Amino acid sequence: MALVPLRLLLDHAAENGYGIPAFNVNNLEQIQAILKAAVETDSPVILQASRGARAYAGENFLRHLILAAVETYPQIPIVMHQDHGNAPATCYSAIKNNFTSVMMDGSLEADAKTPASFEYNVNVTREVVNVAHALGVSVEGELGCLGSLETGAGEAEDGHGFEGTLDHSQLLTDPDEAVDFVEATQVDALAVAIGTSHGAYKFTRKPTGEILAISRIEEIHRRLPNTHLVMHGSSSVPEDLLAIINQYGGAIPETYGVPVEEIQKGIKSGVRKVNIDTDNRLAITAAVREALAKKPEEFDPRHFLKPSITYMQKVCAERYQQFGTAGNASKIKQVSLEDFAAKYAKGELNVVSKAAAKV
C-alpha cells in the first residue's frame, strides 16, 4: 500500500467509531517503533512532522525514511502529515515532498506566535484547501489557540506557539465559529482548543472539566457531526516513564497529561485524530537514561537506541489499543490521491453542518 490521504483513514475511523493516534517523527528509531507497534496491533498509521522536524532531519532524509516504511510494511496504510504549517508556503513545500496531508494552522499568524483573526484563519486555510484538494491531499485546520486554561499560557513546540497569555475565549474553540469555519474552508479535519497544550507540563493537577473542556468537543460534534475533530497536545505523560527518567538522573517535576479515559470520551464525540509526541519523547529518554546508567562503559549508540525503540513501541501499541485503532489496518482499502482529487472536484466530500443539512 502506498502513502494514503488522511481523509481515507479518518472516514474509516468515523464509520467504525475509533480514533487514530498521530505520532510526531524526527528520526529512524521513532518511525521503526511506530511501525512495529502498528504491525503488532494491525493499526493504520499517521506519521507527522513539524517544521522543526523537517529542518532537523532534512527534507530528503525524512521523506525517504517514511517511504522506506511504506516499502517495508506494504500492508499498513500510512499517512505523511505536515503538523502545524504556519503559512500556505509551508504546506505547499510539504506537498512537494510527498506529504499526503497538511495542517494549515491559521489560528496563529505566519510568525507562529501571534494569535490571528478569524478572517485571516479562514482565508489562509481556504487557500491551502483549494490547492491541496486539487491534488487529492487532505487538510487539517485549527480554530482556537492551544494553551492552558489554568495559566492562559501556551507551550511552544518546535517554535510554534503563542507568546504571553490569552483569555478563555481565545483558548476554547467557539462552536458557532467552528460551523462557519468548516463550511467556509471545507477542511477535512478540525483541531479544536479545549485546554490541552504541547509538552509535558500540561496540568498541575489531574485535569477536570474546569481545565480540560471535553464538553466543548461534545458541543462542537453536535453541531458538526460529519466533521473529523482533532485533539492536539494529547500525551498522557505516564508516571512510570517519569519515574524511570528521574531514577536515572532526570529532573522532571510533578506534572499531569491528558488521561486516556478523557481522550476516549473525545473519540466518542467525533475525535478521529489524536496528536501524541511527548509520551514518545519520554519513552525514549527513559530508555536511554536507563541503558547508559546501567552500563556506563558502553559507547555503541545501538546499546541505548535499541531499547528506545522498544520503550516507544510499547507506548504506541498501548495507544492503538486504547483508541480502538487496533485491528483496522487490514480493513482499509487503498484509494489514491488522484481518486480523492476527483471526489473533491465533484463535491462528493463536501462538509456541511447539522443545521445546513436540514435546510
Q: Burial code of 215-227, b = ≥16 C-beta within 10 A, e = fewer?
A: ebbebbbeebeeb
Q: Which of 83, 158, 188, 277 is catalytic?
A: 83
Cell of residue 243, nine digits = 519515574
Residue 23 to residue 346: CA distance in whole angstroms? 32
Q: Under 8 Å CB-to-CB from 111, ≥6 apart: which residues?
A: 86
Residue 149 to residue 163: CA distance in whole angstroms? 15
Q: What distances in angstroms separate CA 228 from CA 274, 341, 357, one per listed residue?
A: 11, 19, 16
Q: Write down how long the chain is.
A: 359
DSSP-assigned letter for residue 106: T
Kindly give the pairing relationship between strand 101-104 and strand 20-24. Answer: unpaired
Residue 171 to residue 202: CA distance in whole angstroms? 14
Catalytic annotation present for 83: yes
Q: What angle do CA 148, 275, 24 make, to 5 degrees?
A: 115
Q: What distances in angstroms separate CA 111 from CA 116, 170, 226, one per listed residue?
A: 10, 18, 32
**Helix/strand/coil for 13:** helix
Which amino acids are annotated catalytic?
Answer: 83
